[in-house]
Amino acid sequence: MALSIHDATVRLSLASQLKWYIYGMKTTIDKAGRVVIPAPVRERAGFTAGAELDVSVDDMGIRLVRVAAGPRLVKIGRRLVARPTVSADARPAVDVAALVEEERSRWP
């Protein structure tokens, strides 16, 4: 199967955008035990200043997960409806279509 010039350009463009991820990033732990998470990683994970993180250790290493406030249940008529507890401005914007496309493009 031959690649068209457009396909090759798109793959090269994606590779250059993900270059930091392909080769990994290094950081250090300071004397106080703090680790600086590089900005591209923070942006991709949706971590913002002051965000609460759950830290755990598993077989793969240390896992950081953003703690999100759960929804509250509101009774509307005879049904319970989940409503967000955080304002729309405080929630991270997630482009699901872009994430799906990025994941599809990740494997040749």
- Average pLDDT over the chain, rounded to whole? 77
pLDDT of res. 66: 84
Per the structure, the complete domain to which residue 67 belongs is given by 5-106
pLDDT of res. 108: 67
DSSP characters over the chain? -PPPHHHHHHHHHHHHHTHHHHS-----B-TTS-BPPPHHHHHHHT--TT--EEEEEETTEEEEEE--PPPEEEEETTEEEEE-SS-TTTSPP--HHHHHHHHHHH--
d(CA 20, CA 1) in angstroms, rounded, equals: 29
Provide the CATH number for the domain around residue 59.
2.10.260.10
Overall number of domains in the chain: 1
pLDDT tens, position by position, 49-98: 888 889 999 888 888 888 877 889 999 999 999 998 888 777 777 788 88
pLDDT of res. 23: 57
pLDDT of res. 99: 83
pLDDT of res. 4: 42
Look at the pTM and tell me if it is higher than 0.85: no
